Structure 1
Amino acid sequence: MRFAATLLMWLVTTLLLAVALPTAWVQQHLVDENGYAALTQKAAADPSLQSAMASELTTQVARLGTSVNTGTVSLVAATYVSSSSFPGQFAQANRFAHRWLFTDAIRSSVDAQGRWVIDIAPMLSDAAFKETLSDYKITVPTSVPIPLTDNAPAALRPGALRPAAAYGRWVSIGVAGLTGLFALFALFLARSRSKMLVALGVSGLLVGAAGWAAIEFGRGRLNAVLDNSSGDIRRIAEVMVGTAENSMHQWLNISLVVGGGLVIIGVIVSLLVSLARTG
């Protein structure tokens, strides 16, 4: 009976860990506005994203004015995206998109099709563009939204993820707390604490490995979502998705390392206990 209860606690702990890890990552890096901005700011350091953003900025400037020399604007844009001010302003533009999706607080800036957009007005208002735009007598509007998707699914509509913003933090904390609680129950019920440490380490290894496999499996679905965008926006989205994947991989690697560490500690403790008994 005790063995069955211990096994049940271990299984529940493993399942909860499999939910807690991605939930915590999503909350910190996607649902939380500051975390999402930090992720996009990191992506902004990628040369591929910078190149695509420079091209998109050139396109938008050409739309704002007539007789624009795109070659000149392209050089200005390339200089801007390689400057120190670009990552922060790119993150700010993505805050706009985040609020639009998670709070629906800026519906007035949504385009006619209700598509997910980012506002690049702060970028075009940077000092790097000031002289060039002045030469072409272009005044930057208060908002220059550009769509991230051509055919946005229902999940990418204004305010679609407000429940996640409202309850995500508490769900994340609750699942993490339950994971720790059931791990303690498992240790308490186990006849051998050292063997349970090994078992919990295996849980960490299983979750880490399963997470890597899930990301690879889900890449196909992500590509299908990215197919809703094209051109420079597709290139920008690909870099941002890649940055998010790398971040999640780091969390999964921590699970693998901690899991492996618990296995080693459990084995060592078990050997020491056995030596003490035989001695």
Structure 2
Amino acid sequence: MRTLVSALLALLALAVAAAGLTSAWIDENLVEESGFVALAAPLADDADFQAALTDSLAQEVTATTGLPEQFDSFVEPLVRDAAGAVTGSSGYPAAWRETLRLSHAFTFAQAPEPSELAPAILTLDVGPVVGLVAESVSESLGVDVPVPEDTTIDVGSIERGGLLSGLADGVQSWRLYLAGAGVLALLALVIARRRGTTLALLGFGVAGLGVIGHFAGEWVPGIAARAPGTSAIADVFIRGLAERAGSDIAGSSVPVIVAGSIAVVIGVVFRIGFERRRRA
């Protein structure tokens, strides 16, 4: 009976640990603004993303120059050149980080009213970058080019408000999940008849969670690549972010694998060195 109870506690501990580790990564890299900015900031240097962003900016700013439509064919190349120059300017990294901060705040805003349409899962607000382009074009043309009223770009097409608000609330308790997993694992060890064996099996389970996390990191970009897109810039952004996330998940799984392996070794040593000697 003790062995059965110990095994059930150990399995429950591993399940809660998996939820805690997953929640910890989501909270620190997506829910927390600083983590999201750090994860997505390197996309500013991605050539494909810069090209898609330049196209989007050129269309947005050209539409708001206030000049007659017959001048569009003349203005758009100037705007496109200005947009391309902005992505290589010294002010671009700061503008991109501000874009990410605004986008994060917009994405995790209050849930919409039930009567409102479900918004996108993530919304990029490229206002700071558009402002740089509008300023550059204004200097080139000698006219005041206003920033468009709506500078947001939807990424994805599933409900944001209720889904992400609930997700954010749930994952922020990851410390409690991991503490609970630790308590369950300790109870499993206390109840177990063969504590060395139980510790080794717990360690093997933790290492297994790390291996699953490592492979999950490799699967994330593939899943994102198959997701339906809403625009060229949305496609490039979400796929680039998925690649960054996958790499980070795989890297974060390594310490979990190491910790589990150490527990396996300690359990085996305890089993061989103490439990057998005690029985002898």
Instruction: Specify the TM-score bucket, using the shorter chain as the normaliser.
Output: 0.7 to 0.9
User: Taking structure 1 as reference, are residues 4 and 63 closer, same or farther at Cα in structure 2, changes over 3 Å only?
Assistant: same
> Aligned to 1:140, what secondary structure does the other structure show?
coil
Gaps of 5+ in 2: none
- Give the drift of 1:142: 6.1
CA deviations on 1:145-183 (whole Å, 9 max, x unpaired) are 23334xx22x23x5652233345313x222122111112
1:204–1:258 CA contact under 8 A, matched in 2: yes
Identity between Structure 1 and Structure 2 (%): 23
1:204–1:259 CA contact under 8 A, matched in 2: yes
Cα distance in 2, alignment partners of residues 45 and 195 from structure 1: 50
> Aligned to 1:118, what secondary structure does the other structure show?
strand
Cα distance in 1, alignment partners of residues 188 and 221 from structure 2: 35
Match of residue 245 from structure 1:
246
Match of residue 188 from structure 2:
186
TM-score scaled by structure 1? 0.79
1:96–1:119 CA contact under 8 A, matched in 2: yes
| Amino acid in the other structure paired with 2:95 | Q
Match of residue 264 from structure 1:
265
2:221–2:239 CA contact under 8 A, matched in 1: no
> Matched residue pairs, number?
268
Cα distance in 2, alignment partners of residues 36 and 64 from structure 1: 31
| Amino acid in the other structure paired with 2:92 | F
RMSD: 3.3
Match of residue 236 from structure 1:
237
CA deviations on 1:220-270 (whole Å, 9 max, x unpaired) are 654453x13232321122101211122222222222222223223333444
Cα distance in 2, alignment partners of residues 114 and 6 from structure 1: 46
User: Taking structure 1 as reference, are residues 3 and 244 closer, same or farther at Cα in structure 2, changes over 3 Å only?
Assistant: same
1:117–1:147 CA contact under 8 A, matched in 2: yes
> Aligned to 2:153, what secondary structure does the other structure show?
strand
1:95 correspondence with 2:98: no
Gaps of 5+ in 1: none
Cα distance in 1, alignment partners of residues 188 and 109 from structure 2: 40
| Amino acid in the other structure paired with 1:248 | I
| Amino acid in the other structure paired with 1:15 | A
2:103–2:123 CA contact under 8 A, matched in 1: yes
2:103–2:125 CA contact under 8 A, matched in 1: yes
CA deviations on 1:81-106 (whole Å, 9 max, x unpaired) are 24454344323223333333322389
Alignment of 1:165-204 (within 5 A): 165-170=168-173, 172-204=174-206
Cα distance in 2, alignment partners of residues 106 and 87 from structure 1: 31
Alignment of 1:75-114 (within 5 A): 75-83=81-89, 85-104=91-110, 114=119
1:102–1:164 CA contact under 8 A, matched in 2: no
> Aligned to 2:247, what secondary structure does the other structure show?
helix
1:164 correspondence with 2:171: no
TM-score scaled by structure 2? 0.79
